[in-house]
């Protein structure tokens, strides 16, 4: 089933036997849980759009393994054009869902592994690439959603993995068997974890010889034995428990993150893609990070939603024509399109890796992500400016529906007279959702820390710019001849 | 009882018979309602600190009416020193409560009325000032908390009050009687409304002759007949319903806003402070706005809390020594102290009004507030940067307490090994609270729109700077002689 | 001579008979004038690099008319790849010269005309395109530098051309003859004007029927009869008169601008490319503007020089390892590469026009240029921060060479002990040059106003974003169904 | 002569026998040198305004030594009011001169010494304070201008003074005699040095025992034997040699800096104010720095000029009514007044030192100066935005006066038709002067590095904020009880 429908996808999740905890209790029915379900619907959108003719070019690709049409999320980029389409797919889905649709981490993990497994084999004569390609075909053929899992808890950040007081602070092998390995550890901040069929583990930092037990990459079915999930809570998460209410802001979609615990999990050899090749751990981290920094193209799409909401709020408030409002809308668009330039440029300047996979320009991908740690905050600030204070002082949906208070809200919260008060409230709740509520987790804090915190990008930027070239140019122009 | 204790204050609220709605239903016990109570506790802090010797100088003053020691919140500023202490009081209480403590609007309304009632009398030979002074003495003697209510719903913002389709979009008189007037309308975004003994109504814009029925100012007991309150909801408000949980972030205090409806309320003449003197409506608005823009001194105190939380989170994360973290803490402090400079400078440059009341420098008060619409957003962004992504992916308090999941959180969410995991979670929840949760309403959105949206300050800045002086200086220096 | 050498180019300029004024006097020998010559050398670099094998791919292209190898500056973009190479050529030359190399305006004019002459013909059945192609072939065959001239003086900006008090404030036809037209007017801010063989006139704004006499485009030899040039002066221009001094900062190159006056100039028909087709004037403006906004790719190259200079200054000052210095270098690079993303993205997202010419994405080109009005100022500020105050308090080259004062400078201006004092002074003078001196004109003020002032870009951004799409997305997500 | 006139001052300078070099040659007549003279005229303004009744309150004070009316520049601050007036004096003179008026360094040195000489005596039983007071009286009685000289060349910045390869990189004592000491070294970046009667030397960093020979403070007549000055050059300095030209921008005033060399200078004991008390060197540095950071109040005045010039340019360009122009003027004012808040607040929050001298709030003075390293750059950027590109492409004054080219400039550079073209050029040249020319040295680069580079302020901010208080507040609110 290389192209599942949204319905197929939902049904496939029902077949899983995930061990998920939330608010201290086991979640019996994950798919229908009111807090989790909107995040599942966001992933389902990645399946739905692949069937829409108008999005086919962006959402699907031709597998270089099977030649079949597949969802781009399980595709290995084979050209610069593929990379550019990936950025466009991110923006499209961000705009369609207004939140994190979660499926890019898996795509980025698959692409990074397609490069690094090849390189390990080149260096060590191993056969990871072939093994990985078989796994990849399985993913493509079944149109699976994968969680790409990188971030370990890390414990004391000043110490390497093998010197941690608690050796499990980084995922590691605890037993080697004939048929596979047993691993222990955890991965934090796992976006969309419980909406995934597979989880792909990667190391979280570059490693030395001493850390070789931590230099691991492998894939597991998400409901593999010994894997458990503890849901993270988000700002305003429980509004989803309040029923079909406008107070949710985004009434359709959401995201989620979870802490994933590997409590001595057995992994068969055919699913192991790196095993103690510590010297290539850093390469895997860096490639995944670069791809994933590009993936923040999605925030441009969420930005589209927020700009559209701000413009709508301005119209409903009756002030859309004021010059300062128009100017703020321009500024929001300017910042949002500057972000778009970043994700397009790092793709457009992509290159071919030895495995044949196309990779982004690492410097520009980092530059892009670094802007993502800044501009959404300013866009959000401007959206709040335009929305007005009512966004945070507005009574609840139940007050609007109440026979006692509804009439007062209808009367006194009406803005532009042609617009139903409810619609005004709806759009303000959407702005609240993206700037303070569940979606702010994705649009703001995840923009800050996802795919690496700002300082991680600054380090990469400092490593990747060619300072020698710049200094030579400067010295030549001012007449310094140093005979270096 | 010129200086109530916190307990007196709480008890006094229990005596009120407020008509309050929340989630579509009447709130029977306002004081003990779990969502409202933390906001009451924040106001109570203004009473408590007045009794502490170390804060006496800041928190209390000597009434120029009775000569008694009173809470500074009911004092009329009689010197530049008073104005400076007001700014310091705001910072102190912001730091003590980490949220909006709500009592400054009343203080600002009283001070503005002390100026404008005097000026109306000067112009029209009326006797408002004496009437107002009697009311003020009542407030001081009983140490009351007043809600200063300015913002009308405004309907179609392109039309003046008298041309609105619905004439009630601005508060107006609907009947004049021998013993008083009957008024109708509503006031939006009323901070601390249901924690107040009194509500003081002021017009929301400058007005012309045609709008004279809207040129009103008066005071009412908060539980006056015909007054009803509909509570606004805040991001994460219902976490307060989850019991004694660390997930509240700020486990002690909060704020609230309400829509206040005046459904044909009778106001006796002795409580009317402006009646149809439309030409002075603008003056009242401007004076209240200037005082209230100064009052955003409080955000410096909330900034102190957020900086302290960020520093603590960095220590718990084990990264407090990293140069980029230290630099971000410096930046947060720099921005916060720049705000402090604003609220001190507008006070220090204050002046005496004809009534003897001291007023802030209006230009600098607007400059101060305008910075408040910007810097807290950047401070919040930096706090999220330092906090790390865990702030928004962390499981709930119940997961920590659960026998099934607690051990995993204890193990994998531990940062610095000497620090209990719970403490790390607590401080991250506090940062969440101030940057995304209930307190973000006050620290961010209220900083944007409270005391007037940014554009309101820009208009005032453009009116108040002396451009002629600047242009003359420029022309002289470049040799332009224009014989103006 | 489709690929002139730098020497050929210089010689070709000597053949011109330009009427140039500077400091109120006619310049007899333009090519050897010490103030003008460095700007000529910068243009010469565009000829020199075309002969270097390592830059051939970027600097040259294959003419779609003749099939010959030509300088890219006279090429019509025939693919997205061409557009991307144009951006890279800009950065390359900016880095090589550290200033404005002036030749892009002509390239942008040629490309815009290749689109618009085609479109005029389509609409009106005229034959401009063929005429233009013949002219283009002449330019390509002779490897000419063209000045693309757009900006009229504009007089009273609130009035259209035909209503100006002085009708010459916009270039217009004053006589129509059998063999051509006579035109009058002026073009301001003409970059590289006196280093050009040709001047290509375009209208400066969209026009209506009444303005049709102003809807003109044509080309003239730069030394055509009736054309005169008055050189603009730049900050620190006369340092070039001080001889071979390090105080020039950039000791090799510079830029220039001139006011060009057309004092009743006759233009033969074969060089007229638009004549009274007022309804397409705006299209020509917009296309030229979009191409030229892309051309601000060059500032990324100047940014490279400034970053290289700042890093070198830090090393010479002995502080390159300080964490705050390293962080500022990262920030400069981050901003500079963000600009790079803009000029790459607008090219990568380019499209084919009906004429077969490839055009940039207009929205992104405007976004790119708009960032250019901001980031170079911040990069310059950071460069001054790193350079230290000595940059502006340093005695002159003559003090360094003087027997009386040289020893003191050698002793007291030495930074890092291994570095000759002169070298430290050289690099600081280069930073001064780019942030305050002659090159600041190009790097800062031209970045602000060249190719349109910031507000021009904001207007284009507001026109080009698809607000309807954004609003539909927002409304869908918050449940607003408006049946538009 | 406790209050010299401007003429007295000029005459007094003629009596000096300064050894000044510029462009490698001795300057014979310093006062009348065309490059230096405008800077002298700026200092003279501090004398002139002291005689104007409307400025008397700000410009003069009553000596606490003699009880006579003196120029505030030689006054020791005896109250918070004095500190506030000092800030206002800075803004006033900045607005009057549009540049650096140079006299504040001496005032700041005197005030810092009044504190520290007292404190040395308290600690060591010395008699510096009395000696200093005698010197101060001499300065006050003769209304002298003093150069406060702190910055040593510093050589290798990673080494303390006594470990420098060249021991003279920091000013030090080379011989102790019965009647005084002989010193050697240099002071860099000395603002207004050759317009000063006196030079007051202070150490440039905190020092340890090993550096005690460098722990020196003393005063010398500026023409003392062995002292020589090498003038720094500024952007566009030689325009002052072009005669009475509008191209100077600021046609009246300027600033200057010099490298001052002490080539074995004898200092009598009665002028020595610190001698080897190394442990108080840091205190002197810090107090001088705090006062001097406050002194950047002057940039608010220069900002006034630039705002006035921008507004005038907008009017002359005929675009003053455009909403984006008005908004930029508001932003310039907002930033400028935010700076004003800083210099007022650090004064208003001042305190008494043991000597009776009033000192500024050190934290806020640093915060103020830190904003000065940022906002003038943004104000300058906005001024360039408003000015338009003509500011840097405009032909010279001689072109305007020339019979051949003047008519073209009159015709084509005219903006608003009622305004003489020359006036338009004048105001644009003034903006050029402040943002790129001689005054940019003071308004931008000196704002960056004067009174300490940005990092120096960041270090002080990090030292002076009370982090403990902030952390305690945060912990209390989130329920962390640490029993510290």
Provide the pLDDT for residue D2.
84
- Smallest Cα distance from A168 to chain C, Å: 33
A135 neighbors A126 (Cβ within 8 angstroms): no
Do residue C364 and residue A342 have CB atoms under 8 angstroms apart?
A: no
Question: How high is the mean pLDDT of chain B?
Answer: 97
Per the listing, tokens 């969309």 go with: A192
Written as tens digits, the pLDDT of chain A (484 aa) is 689 999 999 999 999 999 999 999 999 999 999 999 999 999 999 999 999 999 999 999 999 999 999 999 999 999 999 999 999 999 999 999 999 999 999 999 999 999 999 999 999 999 999 999 999 999 999 999 999 999 999 988 889 999 999 999 999 999 999 999 999 999 999 999 999 999 999 999 999 999 999 999 999 999 999 999 999 999 999 999 999 899 999 999 999 999 999 999 999 999 999 999 999 999 999 999 999 999 999 999 999 999 999 999 999 999 999 999 999 999 999 999 999 999 999 999 999 999 999 999 999 999 999 999 999 999 999 999 999 999 999 999 999 999 999 999 999 999 877 899 999 999 999 999 999 999 999 999 999 999 999 999 999 999 999 999 999 999 999 999 976 5
pLDDT at D1 (0 to 100): 67
DSSP D141: H
Contact call for C430 and A251, based on CB within 8 A: no
Options D104, D146, D236, D343, the catalytic residue:
D104
Q: Is residue A257 annotated as part of the catalytic site, yes or no?
A: yes
Neighbouring-strand partners of residue A266: A182
The Cα D484–Cα D474 span in angstroms is 14
Residue-wise DSSP of D122-139: HHH---HHHHHHHHHHHH
Rg (CA), chain C: 24
How many whole angstroms from its chain centre is CA A317?
34
Q: Has D100 been annotated as catalytic?
A: yes
B2, B127, C75, C115, C282 from C133: Cα distances, Å: 91, 86, 12, 11, 21
Contacts of B323 in chain C (CB under 8 A): 323-324, 327
Residue B338 is predicted with a pLDDT of 98
> DSSP assignment, residue D24?
T
- Core vs surface per residue C445-479: b (16+ CB within 10 A) or e: bbbbbbbbbbbbbbebbbebbeeeebbbbbbbbbb
State pLDDT tens for residues B319-351: 999 999 999 999 999 999 999 999 999 999 999
Q: How far is CA D85 from the centre of its chain?
A: 16
Give the count of Cβ contacts less than 8 A between chain B and C.
8
For residue A1, the model assigns a pLDDT of 67
Rounded to 5 degrees, what are φ and ψ at C19? Answer: -100, 100
Per-residue pLDDT of C90-138, as tens digits, reads 999 999 999 999 999 999 999 999 999 999 999 999 999 999 999 999 9
* Spans in chain C with pLDDT lower than 50: none
Q: Cβ contact (<8 Å) for A405 and B21? A: yes
Report helix, strand or coil for A354: coil
Residue partners of C420: CB distance under 8 A and separation at least 6: none
B28 is catalytic: no
- pLDDT tens-digit readout, B430-450: 999 999 999 999 999 999 999
Rounded CA separation B384/A454 (Å): 11
Catalytic residue among A96, A97, A104, A214: A104
- In sequence order, the β-bridge partners of residue D198 are D146, D221
Q: What is the pLDDT of residues B114-156, one digit of tens each?
A: 999 999 999 999 999 999 999 999 999 999 999 999 999 998 8
Whole-number Å distance between alpha carbons of B100 and C189: 55
Question: Would you call B343 a catalytic residue per the annotation?
Answer: no
Return the exposure string of A424-463: e unless at least 16 CB atoms fall within 10 Å of the residue's CB, then b.
bbbbbbbbbbbbbbbbbbbbbbbbbbbbbbbbbbbebbbe
Q: Which residue has the tokens 């503890």?
A: A230
- The pLDDT score that the predictor gives to residue C187 is 98
Q: How many Å apart are CA A274 and CA D206, to the nearest integer?
A: 55
How high is the pLDDT of residue D294?
98
In Å, how far is B223's CA from the nearest CA of chain A?
Answer: 17
Contacts of A324 in chain D (CB under 8 A): 323, 327
**Closest residue in chain D to residue B96, using alpha carbons only:** D473
Instruction: Tell me the per-residue pLDDT of B214-232, one tens digit each, with 9 for 90 and over.
Output: 999 999 999 999 999 999 9
| A130-163 as b/e: b if 16+ CB within 10 A | ebbbebbeebbbebbbbbbbbbbbbbbeeeebbe
Please give the pLDDT value at position B416.
78
Contact A396/B24, CB-based, under 8 Å? yes
CA atoms within 13 A on the CB side of A321: 4
CB atoms C231 and D395 under 8 Å: yes
For B412-416, what is the mean pLDDT? 88
Helices and strands (H, E) in chain D, number of each type: 19, 14
pLDDT (average), residues D25-39: 98
Rounded CA gap, D287 and D293, in Å?
10
**pLDDT score of C68:** 97
Spatial distance between the Cα atoms of D442 and B463, rounded to a whole number of angstroms: 29
Contact B232 A319 (CB under 8 A): no
pLDDT of residue D391 exceeding 60:
yes
- Indicate the burial class of D403 (C-beta count within 10 angstroms; 0-12, 13-18, 19 or more): exposed
In this prediction, does ipTM exceed 0.95? yes
Numbered residues of chain A with Cβ closer than 8 Å to any chain D Cβ: 323-324, 327
Give dist(CA A157, CA D476) in Å, integer: 27
Exposure string over D367-400, b if 16+ CB within 10 A, otherwise e: bbbbbbbbbbbbbbbbbbbbbbbbbbbbbbbbbb
When pLDDT is averaged across residues B298-313 and rounded to a whole number, the result is 98
Q: Which own/partner contact pairs does A405-410 have at CB distance under 8 Å and 24+ positions apart?
A: A405/B21, A405/B24, A405/B230, A406/B24, A408/B186, A408/B228, A408/B230, A408/B259, A408/B261, A409/B230, A409/B259
Percent of chain B scoring above 70 in pLDDT? 99
Nearest-CA residue of chain A relative to C252?
A: A477
Distances (CA, A) of A472 to A364, A481, C317, D302: 22, 9, 18, 38
Residue in B251, B470, B478 closest to D426 by CB? B478
pLDDT bucket at B482, cuts 50 / 70 / 90: confident
* Beta carbons of D144 and D198 less than 8 angstroms apart: yes
Cβ contact (<8 Å) for A334 and C250?
no
Residue B417 has pLDDT above 90, yes or no: no
CA–CA separation, A202 vs B481, rounded Å?
A: 74
Pairing state of beta strands C227-231 and C257-268? antiparallel
- Confirm whether A75 is a catalytic residue: no
Residue among C128, C229, C296, C340 flagged as catalytic: C296
Active site annotation includes D412: no
DSSP 8-state code for residue D70: E
| Distance (Å, whole) CA C99 – CA C443 | 7
Strand C216-221, strand C351-352: pairing? unpaired
Report pLDDT for B157.
86
Categorize the per-residue pLDDT at B1 as very low, low, confident or very high, splitting at 50, 70 and 90. low
pLDDT digits (tens, 9 = 90+) for D404-446: 999 999 999 998 778 999 999 999 999 999 999 999 999 999 9
User: Between chains, do D461 and B370 touch, taking CB under 8 Å as contact?
Assistant: no
Q: Which residue has the tokens 């397009």?
A: A344
D324: pLDDT strictly greater than 90: yes
| Residues of chain C neighbouring A465 (CB-CB closer than 8 A) | 307, 333, 337
Contact D476 B344 (CB under 8 A): no
Q: Do B234 and A392 touch (CB under 8 A)?
A: yes
Q: Where are the alpha helices (DSSP H) in A295-420?
A: 298-317, 323-348, 362-372, 375-387, 390-393, 397-401, 406-412
> Is the distance from CB of C150 to CB of C202 less than 8 angstroms?
yes
Q: Are residues B158 and B143 in contact, defined by beta-carbon separation less than 8 angstroms?
A: no
Helix (H, G, I), strand (E, B) or coil at D417: coil
CB atoms near residue C347 (< 10 Å)? 30
- In chain C, what residues touch D255 (CB-CB under 8 Å)? none
Chain A residues whose CB is inside 8 A of the D329 CB are none
CA dist., res. B393 & res. A449, Å (int): 11
What is the average pLDDT across D62-88?
Answer: 98
Q: What is the pLDDT of residues B28-74, one digit of tens each?
A: 999 999 999 999 999 999 999 999 999 999 999 999 999 999 999 99
Provide the terminal-to-terminal Cα distance of chain D, rounded to the nearest Å. 61
Beta carbons within 8 Å of C216's beta carbon, 6+ residues apart: C171, C172, C173, C181, C183, C201, C203, C272, C274, C275, C276
Best of D101, D477, D483 to substitute, by most chain B Cβ atoms within 10 angstroms, is: D477
Active-site residue flag, C191: yes
């Amino acid at each position: 089933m290389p192209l599942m429908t949204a319905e197929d996808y939902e049904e496939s999740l029902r077949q899983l036997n995930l061990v998920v905890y939330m608010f201290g209790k086991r979640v019996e029915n994950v798919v229908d849980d009111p807090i989790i379900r909107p995040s599942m619907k966001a992933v389902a959108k990645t399946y739905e759009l692949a069937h829409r003719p108008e999005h086919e070019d962006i959402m699907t690709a031709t597998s270089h393994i099977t030649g079949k049409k597949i969802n781009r999320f399980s595709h290995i980029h084979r050209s610069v054009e593929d990379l550019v389409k990936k950025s466009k797919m991110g923006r499209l889905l961000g705009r369609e869902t207004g939140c994190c649709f979660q499926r890019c981490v898996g795509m980025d993990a698959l692409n990074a592994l397609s490069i690094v497994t090849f390189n390990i084999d080149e260096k060590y004569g191993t056969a990871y690439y072939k093994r990985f390609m078989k796994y990849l075909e399985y993913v493509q053929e079944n149109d699976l959603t994968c969680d790409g899992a990188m971030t370990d808890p890390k414990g004391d950040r000043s110490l390497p993995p093998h010197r941690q007081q608690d050796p499990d602070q980084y995922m590691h092998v605890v037993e080697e068997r004939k048929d596979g390995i047993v691993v222990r550890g955890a991965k934090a901040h796992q976006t969309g974890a419980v909406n995934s069929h597979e989880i792909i583990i990667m190391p979280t930092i570059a490693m030395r010889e001493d850390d070789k037990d931590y230099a691991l990459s492998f894939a597991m079915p998400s409901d593999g034995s010994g894997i458990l999930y503890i849901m993270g809570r988000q700002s305003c998460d429980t509004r989803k428990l309040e029923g079909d209410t406008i107070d949710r802001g985004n009434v359709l979609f959401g995201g989620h993150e979870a802490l994933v615990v590997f409590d001595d999990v057995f992994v068969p050899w055919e699913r192991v893609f790196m095993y103690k090749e510590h010297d290539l751990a850093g390469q895997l981290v860096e490639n995944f990070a670069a791809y994933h920094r590009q993936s923040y193209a999605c925030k441009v799409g969420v930005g589209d939603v927020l700009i559209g909401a701000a413009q709508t709020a301005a119209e409903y408030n009756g002030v859309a024509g004021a010059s300062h409002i128009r100017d703020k809308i321009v500024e929001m668009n300017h910042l949002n399109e500057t972000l778009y330039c970043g994700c397009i440029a790092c793709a457009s300047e992509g290159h071919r890796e030895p495995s044949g996979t196309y990779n982004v320009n690492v410097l520009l991908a980092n530059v892009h992500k670094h802007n993502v740690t800044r501009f959404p905050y300013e866009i959000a600030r401007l959206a709040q400016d335009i929305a007005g204070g009512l966004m945070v002082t507005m009574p609840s949906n139940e007050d609007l529906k109440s026979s006692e208070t509804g009439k007062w809200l209808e009367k006194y919260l009406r803005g532009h007279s042609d617009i139903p008060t409810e619609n005004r409230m709806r759009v303000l709740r959407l702005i609240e959702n993206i700037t303070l509520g569940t979606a702010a987790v994705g649009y703001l804090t995840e923009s800050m820390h996802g795919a690496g915190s700002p300082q991680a990008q600054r380090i990469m930027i400092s490593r990747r710019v060619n300072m020698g070239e710049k200094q030579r140019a400067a010295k030549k122009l001012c007449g310094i001849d140093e005979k270096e």
